[in-house]
Amino acid sequence: MEKKQSIVEKTLEYWENENNCARSTVCGILSYFNNEPLCDPFHKAMLPMGGGVGEGSICGAIIGSLSAISLILAEKGLSDEEIKKRTDLFKSNIKDKFGTLKCFDLMAKFMENEGEIDFEMPGRREKCTDVVISAVNLAKQIIDSTKEG
């Protein structure tokens, strides 16, 4: 019997194939929780979400994770109110860990003179990878701890 990949392994498959943070997290989470057919439309929808919607706002890894959490919890039958409580918990825990939800703040030390993220700067990819891994691990915890509605 083949061992099931961890949520991090599934996510890193996307991440290491040149997908942005939003695409990697949403598809990694959906694939892990056996929602593979939904990955394709979400993969397309998440293109502009990487890099904080390309503008440094809310981190794409957070957007992708929130999208997957919401969808999976809705499929479990949770109400909008219950989903909102759990996604607020996700955001709170990410903010506690990293101090922010914003891509520009997460990437502050990787900025060029014009206030743009230098995606080629050494260490930038590792920082993003840390956020991606933390986001999917936290998403898994929240989803796993939620009983069907």
- In degrees and rounded to multiples of 5, residue 102 shows phi and psi of -90, 130
- Asked, for residue 149, whether it belongs to a domain, the answer is no
The pLDDT of residue 2: 65
Residue tagged 């996604």 (tokens)? 87
Q: Is the pLDDT score of 13 beyond 90?
A: yes
The whole domain housing 21 covers: 7-144
Distance CA 113, CA 65 (A): 31
Q: Which residue has the higher pLDDT, 36 or 32?
A: 32
Confidence band of 35 (pLDDT split at 50, 70, 90)? confident
Q: pLDDT tens, 56-109? A: 899 999 999 999 999 999 999 999 999 999 999 999 999 999 999 999 999 999
Residue tagged 């933390």 (tokens)? 134
Q: Which residue has the higher pLDDT, 4 or 8?
A: 8
Q: Is the pLDDT score of 113 beyond 80?
A: no
Confidence band of 148 (pLDDT split at 50, 70, 90)? confident
- Asked, for residue 114, whether it belongs to a domain, the answer is yes
User: What's at 10, amino acid-wise?
Assistant: K
- Asked, for residue 113, whether it belongs to a domain, the answer is yes
Cβ neighbours of residue 110 under 8 Å, at least 6 residues apart? 117, 118, 119, 121, 123, 124, 127
Report CA 17 to chain centroid distance, whole Å: 16
Total-model pTM: 0.93
- Asked, for residue 109, whether it belongs to a domain, the answer is yes
- Asked, for residue 2, whether it belongs to a domain, the answer is no
- Asked, for residue 81, whether it belongs to a domain, the answer is yes
- Asked, for residue 59, whether it belongs to a domain, the answer is yes
Number of structural domains in the chain: 1
- What rounded mean pLDDT belongs to the chain? 92
Distance CA 28, CA 134 (A): 13
Confidence band of 149 (pLDDT split at 50, 70, 90)? low
For residue 129, is it left (φ>0), alpha (ψ between -120 and 50) or beta? alpha
- Asked, for residue 1, whether it belongs to a domain, the answer is no
User: 3-class DSSP state for residue 52?
Assistant: helix
Which ranges in the chain belong to alpha helices (H)? 7-15, 21-32, 36-45, 50-51, 60-75, 80-98, 103-106, 124-144
The pLDDT of residue 1: 62
The pLDDT of residue 115: 75
